[in-house]
A and B are shown apart, each in its own frame.
Chain A
Amino acid sequence: MIKTKIVHRPKLNFWQKLYFPEVFRGVLLTSRHFFKNLILHFFHSFGLFRRIAAAVTIQYPEEFWKLPSRLRTRHRLTKREDGSPRCVACMMCETVCPARCIYIVAEEHPDPNIEKRPKSFDIDLGKCVYCGFCVEACPEDAIRMDTKILDIAAYSRQGMMLDMNELLNPTTFIPRREASRKS
């Protein structure tokens, strides 16, 4: 037997039923915000009281949200000291990827101490679900998702494909101004 709890509508008292005092209270609340923000905007335009925000808006292309350090963003491949990719083409990431968006073609590495290296390493961002499994699966710390690139867009599906060169040197990376607002 499920016990139901009946929640009654709160009864309005006389002043609430009159409606006008409540309207007045509501208008008072909203106009308080209005005048506070108006005065703050006025001062901001003279460069005063910049610390007190007049709006919660982050004006995106100019301002940028301060990203959490553990946020998973666009992938990159890490490099060895000589600049070659750390990736050993073990196919772990390709195997674990639930979206199957990683395509690796392996080849022999000239260094006999290293078994393989990727001939090509493509990621289809149109398919990627940003789960971060590839980063976890990688035994060599060769793939990371810490570029802080969020604005990924392309005019074609082909444009969403990232090749190895792009992954090693994230060229579309635009150095952001330090986020002026605290997150």
Chain B
Amino acid sequence: MLAALGIQTVLAFIFLGFVFNLAALHAWIERKQSALMQDRIGANRAWITLPWKWALPINWILMPFNKLGLFHPIADAIKMFTKEDYIPPSGNKFLHTLAPCLSLFFALVGFAAIPFGNTIEIGGRVISLQVANINVALLYIFAMASMGVYGVVLAGFSSNNNYAVLGGLRASSQMLSYEIAIGLTVMGVVMIYGSLNLQELVRAQGNYLLGWLPLWGVVVQPVGFLLFLAAGIAETKRIPYDAPEGESEIIGYFVEYSGMKFGMFFFTDYLETIMIASLATTLFFGGWQVPYLMDAGFHFPWGQAISLSPLLVSLLQILSFVLKVLFFCWLFMTIRWTLPRFRYDQLLKLGWHYMFPIALANVFVTAIILLVIEGM
């Protein structure tokens, strides 16, 4: 019992470390990627160089990090921690402090249910590479994602600022409309694989269609995948769907926030991006599955086989999960820096008039096809 708890804690720390570092790196990815996409260079002035002569080799090692601007997230953190933390005197002090914590908390706990690898065997003990093996993991993740809205709404409400309230209201209505679309698109996947348990769902995606095509979610649910991407980006409250934040009109629910509390909201955005990226990976891109990699090694459909040790297989699977998540992070960042933002009415119209009916139709068609296949 205690050993199991210890293992789970270690797994949680490993995964949390990955997620936290990736979120912090997102500040850097965002700057650099937008710069490259717009033919600029991007922030590269936060240098760390030691002034002493003996530190020359250290400086030499630090040089590429300096030139790439990798110390800018650290500079950001220092700036945010040392800035004045202002609470509007007419606002609610307790709720104002609670809101960013709630936002961050609910963005983080969702990651517990994401499987980042198959089972691994260490010392005769079989460990499932997942922080919490929940039977209704998908439900749990969406519940946590919806709870995250509380942080945003509370932030808008407790600031005693009209713009903040507007931002909070927009956030709640946007989350509501897109949560429905997202839930319905995911239903298609759940119907096909027949499980809400994410680990089971990923294992089911290890099968092959016609013997060679990996039975990933994107293969059997292409419309669902596109809808999930579109609605998922709405969940992150980033640019094509940034009505709650809307830097160009209302500043959004965090107008009255400064210092690290604002930083926490910012961090939550990145965490939600990673959350949607890992969900898209898990549901539609086979999670930790590597094509043609079985428990004993590669088995290609043309008959060739490469046998690998179980540990190497596990490592490859974890690497595959990480790479897929990174790809989706890149894709979301590209979309964020490509598209202009929706107006508020366009946003709700897209959610209710287009995504919701298409998602419903998707579920309907999937059900009919499943029935036909079962009947055959």
Residues in chain A within 8 A of chain B (CB atoms): 20, 23, 26-27, 29-31, 33-34, 37-38, 41, 54-57, 59
Q: Which residues of chain A are within 8 angstroms of B40 by Cβ–Cβ distance?
A: 55-57
| Given A20-B226, A34-B33; A56-B39 close (CB under 8 Å) | yes
- Using A33-B39, A56-B40, A59-B41 as known contacts, list a sample of 16 further A-B pairs with CB atoms less than 8 Å apart, ordered by residue number in A: A20-B226, A23-B338, A27-B331, A30-B337, A30-B338, A31-B37, A33-B36, A33-B37, A33-B38, A34-B33, A37-B37, A37-B39, A38-B36, A54-B39, A55-B35, A56-B39
Identify which of A27, A54, A55 contacts B334 (C-beta below 8 A). A27
**Residues of chain B contacted by A30 (CB below 8 angstroms):** 37, 334, 337-338
B residues near A23, Cβ cutoff 8 Å: 335, 338-339
Q: Which residues of B contact A (CB under 8 A)?
A: 33, 35-41, 226, 331, 334-335, 337-339
In Å, the complex CA distance between A72 and B140 comes to 67
Cα distance A48–B33 in the bound complex, in angstroms: 22
Q: How far is the CB of B161 from chain A (nearest CB, A)?
A: 34
Q: Can you report 18 A-B residue pairs in the complex whose CB atoms are below 8 A from each other?
A: A20-B226, A23-B335, A23-B338, A23-B339, A26-B339, A30-B334, A30-B337, A33-B36, A33-B39, A34-B37, A34-B334, A37-B37, A37-B39, A41-B36, A55-B35, A55-B39, A55-B41, A57-B41
Within 8 Å by CB of A37, from B36, B338, B339, lies B36
Q: How many A-B residue pairs have CB under 8 A?
A: 41
Q: CA separation between A26 and B331, bound complex, in Å?
A: 12
Which DSSP category, helix, strand, loop or mixed, fits chain A's interface? helix
Residue of B35, B39, B40, B335 with highest tally of chain A CB at under 10 A: B39
Q: How far is it, in angstroms, between the C-alpha of A54 and the C-alpha of B37 when the chains are bound? A: 10
Q: Which residue of B lies closest to A18 (CB)?
A: B354
Chain A residues in 8 Å Cβ range of B335: 23, 27
Within 8 Å CB of A37, what residues of B? 36-37, 39
Which of A30, A31, A34, A56 has the largest count of B CB atoms less than 10 A from its CB? A34
Whole-angstrom distance from the CB of A11 to the nearest CB of chain B?
Answer: 17
Q: In the complex, what residue of chain B is closest to A55 when comparing beta carbons?
A: B41
Chain B residue nearest in CB terms to A25: B338
| Residue of B whose beta carbon sits closest to that of A22 | B339
7 closest Cβ pairs, A-B complex: A57-B41, A37-B36, A30-B338, A26-B338, A30-B37, A34-B37, A55-B41
A33 to B39, CA, bound (A): 7
| Complex: A34 Cα to B334 Cα, angstroms | 9
**Complex: chain A residue closest to B33, CB-CB:** A34
Q: Closest chain A residue to B337 by CB distance?
A: A30
**A29 proximity list for chain B (CB < 8 A):** 338
Please measure, in the bound complex, the distance between the C-alpha atom of A37 and the C-alpha atom of B35, giving whole angstroms.
Answer: 10
What B residues does A38 contact at CB under 8 A?
36
Nearest-CB residue, chain A, relative to B340: A26
Residues of B with C-beta under 8 A to A20 = 226
Residues in chain B near residue A26, CB distance under 8 A: 338-339
Whole-angstrom distance between the Cβ of A22 and the nearest chain B Cβ: 9
**Please, how many angstroms separate the alpha-carbon atoms of A138 and B334 in the complex?**
57
Closest residue of chain B to A40 (Cβ to Cβ) is B36
Alpha-carbon distance between A98 and B81 when the two chains are bound, in angstroms: 49
Given contacts A20-B226, A34-B33, contact A27 B338 (CB under 8 A): yes
Shortest distance between the CB of A61 and any CB in chain B (Å): 10
CA distance A59 to B40 in the complex (A): 10
CA distance A31 to B336 in the complex (A): 12
Min C-beta distance of B218 to chain A, whole Å: 15
Taking the closest CB of chain A, its distance from the CB of B227, in whole angstroms, is: 10
Q: Which residues of A contact B36 (CB under 8 A)?
A: 33-34, 37-38, 41, 55
